[in-house]
Amino acid sequence: MATVTVDHGGRGGDVIWQEGGTSLRFCWEGASFGFEVGIPTRADWTEHTGLPESRRAEVVRALGDAFIQQRTRGGHWVLMEHDHGCWLQIHPG
C-alpha cells in the first residue's frame, strides 16, 4: 500500500508518493483558490514516473485525498488537464 506525505513548506513544496522501493515527488504551490500539484500529462506519465498509465488515476486520487487530509482538513480536488500541462487543483472547504 502506498503512503503519501505532504511537506509543510511555505508557499510550495513536495507531495511524496511512496510504495515499496518507488518514491515519486510532485511539486505543489499555493494558488488563489487553494493549492496546485503538478502532475505529468497522460502522454508523459510513464516516462516521468516509471509507472504504467493504468496506475495514474490511483496515484492522482491518493495525492489529492492526502493533500486535503494533511493540509486543509476539508474541501475537494479537481484534475485539470491541458495540452501544456496538468495540475491537481486543491480547493479547501
**Exposure string for 60-92, b = 16+ CB within 10 A, e = fewer:** bebbbebbbeebbeebebebeeeeeebbbbbee
Could you tell me the pTM of the whole model?
0.93
Average pLDDT over residues 15-20: 96
Amino acid letter for position 17: W
Number of domains in the chain: 1
Average pLDDT of the residues of the chain: 94
Q: What confidence score (pLDDT) does residue 84 get?
A: 80
Domain holding 40, by residue range, is 3-92
Task: Note the pLDDT of residue 85.
Answer: 87
